[in-house]
Chains A and B, each alone.
Chain A
Amino acid sequence: MTKIIEPSKQSSIFRRPSSETGIWSWITTVDHKRIGIMYGYAAFFFLLIGGLEALILRIQLSQPDNNFLTAAEYNAMFTMHGTTMIFLAIMPISAAFFNYLLPLQIGARDVAFPRLNALSFWIFIFGGAFLYSTFIFGTAGAPEGGYLAEEVGWLGSAPNGGWFGYQPNAGMKYSPGTAMDYWAIGLQILGIASLISAFNFITTIINMRTEGMRFMRMPVFTWMTFAVSFLLAFSLPIIAIALFYVTFDRKFGTTFFLTEGGGDPILWQHLFWLFGHPEVYILILPAFGIVSEVLPTFSRKPLFGYAAIVFAGFGIAFIGFGVWAHHMFASAISPVAQAGFGLSTMVIAVPTGVKIFNWLGTIWGGKLKLNTPMLFSLGFIGMFVIGGLSGVTHSIVPADTQQTDTYYVVAHFHYVLFGGALFGIFSGLYYWFPKVWGKMYNESLGKIHFWLMMIGFNLTFGPMHWLGLQGQVRRTWVYAEETNLQFWNIIVTVGAFIIALSIIVFMINWIFSKRNGEKAPFDPWDARTLEWAIPSPTPVWNFSTAPIVKSLDDFWHTKYSEDEEGRAVRREEADQILLELEEDGLNPSEHIALPNPSYFPIVLASGLPFLGYAVIYKSIPLALIGTVLLLIGGFGWGTEPLEEEIHIDSDE
């Protein structure tokens, strides 16, 4: 089969990009699958950097009174570790899943706005590069009453006020220099990227579903994408405005968060956590979705309590907006507020518990296939329950006051975000590996990865509970020898390096399987959702004809019927149906119009870092460059039609 793909006319002011392979085809792509893959690689790159920063922190803490890092460097490292992992690793890696899978799961050919999709990816890349350019251009001076300027060094010239940027500590007086400006504006740029993708995904889910794909027939992963998009859309504006104020305070002399000018530092905490707590669910709900796909597939059972899982997901998202002050129990908020937020924190454990029990119900009595994605999903349940339970302990205000700013809290949120979100993400990476690359990963290496990570993870974060209860404070670069904290700290550091080892195993598996792995069969997992009803790797046009969905898990029902006792029986014609699906999927019978590649998303996105530098250095020329790039991008975008009638002809 040969494909002839040719743009029919050039109606834009610039020549349209037309290459199909090579670097330009990736830079100008608007294909949701390619964007998803790029998101994945970029996010993994930042995950490695964030991991490296974590290892540096752990080396410093492996000995009491260590001087591997100065205080200034330690501050910069833990700030960048948190910021990187949250905004540059886990969020975009979830976006990678959303991008690649969402249109496939609802039977669509692309997202609602393909070019906006490319725009959010490039804004994310420029935002990440902008944030990290602080190591080259940024400065962090000596704070009043703090360490000396000569202790800052190269490593310390990064944002150093924590990923939470508490005021007034992150203000000009205690965080002089430009590093914290890079942080505030960098997050602002990254926020724009996430906001745009949230609009895109919400619209896609509402309006791009294929015929018969009613809301209550959507896969749970799609549902969780929906919930996350709403969380993003309603929480990011709050942090955007708050960061706006921070930038005004630092650059233009206002006093929104500074008491000496009548401002209110607690207001920053409210605004930050009003975003920050929904953000926690933004990080964890995608993993919930992935696990809800993996568990039924490898338990050979339908998902237990589909509707309950969906509504629990939205319950979490909704209540997630009403618990923010449990991050602030040690701040000046009234006892009534403390009691109220303590209660709502307990309440949010209910829908989470509903999900846990539904997953257990799904595995219960199933024929479990314990391959790598399943192991990660099971690991996810275990680790997330531990993290969730230690989270509920924070709703008891007096206990929380004891635990605030100790390693107990660090242990808690790593159990949720690493043991939860990241385990779920790895489960998904293995599960959809055959879909994306058309090859199988190496199962033994996958299992080695899982067990190494499981052991390393628990060695790293388990002992932190005890360290925290023994009083080791977080965000502090040394502990004294007399505190007797050394033993567990060494264990923690060893654990961190075991995690690093497991990541190396994962990378080896990924690179070699992608190149030399066995060819993946059609529908390798005997799965239930639409993305498996098309060939792997996914053809550029996704579905050669729009699928019509008749029930939940429609693809499964195509393959299976029930006997009189309700057990699944594979239909005789199932193999024949799969063969036909593969054949049809590879050979579309008609012309398919696909959105054209475009230069303008990357041009438009490239304007934002210039505007960021312009604010930091109060430079008019930089502002002009940024504005011109925005204008070129916007004007070109507006005058360029989305599709130029690409023809994919297939001659038999």
Chain B
Amino acid sequence: MSSSHSYPHEPTGVETRKLGMWVFLSTEILFFGTLITTFMIFKGSDFPGMKLTDVYDIPFTSISSFILLMSSLTMVLAHNALEANDQEKTRVWLLATAMLGAVFLAGQIYEFTEFYHKGFELTTNIFSSSFYVLTGFHGLHVFIGVVLLLALWGIGQRQKGLTLEGGMNLEFVALYWHFVDIVWIVLFTVVYLI
């Protein structure tokens, strides 16, 4: 048995933090999977009180979905800018991503309030419960994402700016953000369209 001095060692060549993020996202699939399954089970049933389809505003939700999807684009632009080591542009695109996320959240809050005022509450029936818990859980994820993006933007204000290595780096947050967006594509389809 011989020995060498090289620590740390990453046999896969994938950065350890990024790998950790991938593992985390794989469990997130199970979180959302369970929520979506439950929603689908209760979706077909007929219950007293209002139906969700009575209150849906598909054009509105489509627009806010579009906004969230665009934030994935700005996220990619931020990443590209950082690869070119353009700190200024990186910060701008980061802020843009956070803002788009915030607009989506505002839209969700507006939507929830509208539904509520129309009498469609958490406990109205099993269907409304599963709707609020599912989309609320996703909203929480977007909220955490916005906080992370703003934190990253704040770190970018420092002298040495952002890097692609170490700490809570941009790539790490970008993976999370794209995941949250992709989940929304599934949710939008499952909850609103079919």
Contacts and interface: CB of A to CB of B under 8 A. Distances in A.
B46 to A, nearest CB: 9
A179 interface: no
Chain A interface mostly: helix
A638 B151 contact: yes
Contact of B168 (A210, A267, A581, A638): A638
B9 A241 contact: no
Interface in A93-146: 108-109, 112-113
B23 interface: yes
Interface in B12-38: 12, 14, 16-17, 19-20, 23-24, 26-28, 30-31, 33-35, 38
Nearest to B45: A262
Contacts of B53: none
Contacts of B189: none
B133 A244 contact: yes
Interface residues of A, number: 57
A208 B41 contact: no
Contact of A233 (B27, B45, B47, B168): B27
Contacts of A213: 11
B42 interface: yes
B16 A207 contact: yes
Contacts of A252: 122-123
Contacts of A244: 133
Given A237-B27, A262-B125, A548-B2, A211 B20 contact: no
B34 A254 contact: no
Contacts of B6: 211, 546
A545 B4 CA distance: 6
Given A267-B41, A546-B5, A548-B1, A207 B23 contact: no
B1 A241 contact: no
A238 interface: yes
Interface stretch (A198-206, A403-411, A503-511): A198-206
A263 B3 CA distance: 61
Nearest to A264: B41
Nearest to A549: B1
A472 to B, nearest CB: 36
A236 B33 CA distance: 12
A652 B145 CA distance: 52
Contacts of A554: 1
A254 B8 contact: no
Contact of B30 (A112, A199, A234, A555): A234
Contacts of A549: 1
Contacts of A547: 1-3
A207 B126 contact: no
Give the interface centre of A254, A638, A641 by most chain B CB atoms within 10 Å: A254
A256 B130 contact: yes
Contact of B129 (A200, A255, A267): A255
Given A256-B129, A550-B1, A237 B41 contact: no
B20 A112 contact: yes
A261 interface: yes
A209 B11 contact: yes
Contacts of A584: 3
Contacts of A238: 30, 34
B54 interface: no
Nearest to A209: B11
B42 A262 contact: yes
A139 B26 CA distance: 38
A533 B3 CA distance: 12
Interface centre among B20, B41, B167 (most CB of A within 10 A): B20
A494 interface: no
Contacts of A202: 23
Interface string A227-252: 00000011111101110110010001
Contacts of A234: 26-27, 30
A113 B20 contact: yes
Nearest to B35: A241
Nearest to B28: A237
Contacts of A112: 16, 19-20
Nearest to A116: B20
B135 to A, nearest CB: 14
A253 interface: yes
A195 interface: yes
A581 B28 CA distance: 44
B130 A207 contact: no
Contacts of B133: 244-245, 248, 254
B39 to A, nearest CB: 11
A208 B8 contact: yes
A281 interface: no
B12 A545 contact: no
B3 A203 contact: no
Contacts of B1: 533, 547-550, 554-555, 558, 577, 581
Contacts of A253: 122-123
Contacts of A198: 23, 27
A549 B4 CA distance: 10
Nearest to B47: A262
A590 interface: yes
A441 interface: no
B126 A262 contact: yes
A263 B38 CA distance: 10
A248 B35 CA distance: 13
B2 A207 contact: no
Contact of A203 (B20, B30, B129, B151): B20
A207 B35 CA distance: 31
A546 B3 contact: yes
A543 B8 CA distance: 12
Given A199-B20, A233-B23, A248 B129 contact: yes
B3 A543 contact: yes
Given A198-B23, A262-B42, A545-B5, 17 more contacts: A109-B8, A207-B16, A207-B19, A211-B4, A237-B27, A248-B129, A252-B123, A253-B123, A254-B133, A255-B126, A255-B129, A261-B126, A264-B42, A545-B3, A547-B1, A550-B1, A581-B1
Interface of A: 108-109, 112-113, 195, 198-200, 202-203, 206-211, 213, 233-238, 240-242, 244-245, 248, 252-256, 261-264, 267, 271, 533, 543, 545-550, 554-555, 558, 577, 581, 584, 590, 638, 641
28 contacts: A108-B8, A109-B7, A113-B16, A199-B20, A199-B24, A203-B20, A207-B11, A207-B16, A208-B8, A233-B27, A233-B30, A237-B30, A237-B31, A241-B38, A242-B34, A244-B133, A256-B38, A256-B126, A256-B130, A261-B125, A262-B127, A271-B34, A533-B1, A546-B5, A555-B1, A558-B1, A638-B151, A641-B167
Interface of B: 1-12, 14, 16-17, 19-20, 23-24, 26-28, 30-31, 33-35, 38, 41-42, 45, 47, 122-123, 125-127, 129-130, 133, 151, 167-168
Closest 10 CB pairs of A and B: A237-B30, A254-B129, A545-B3, A262-B126, A241-B34, A237-B31, A203-B20, A253-B123, A558-B1, A233-B27
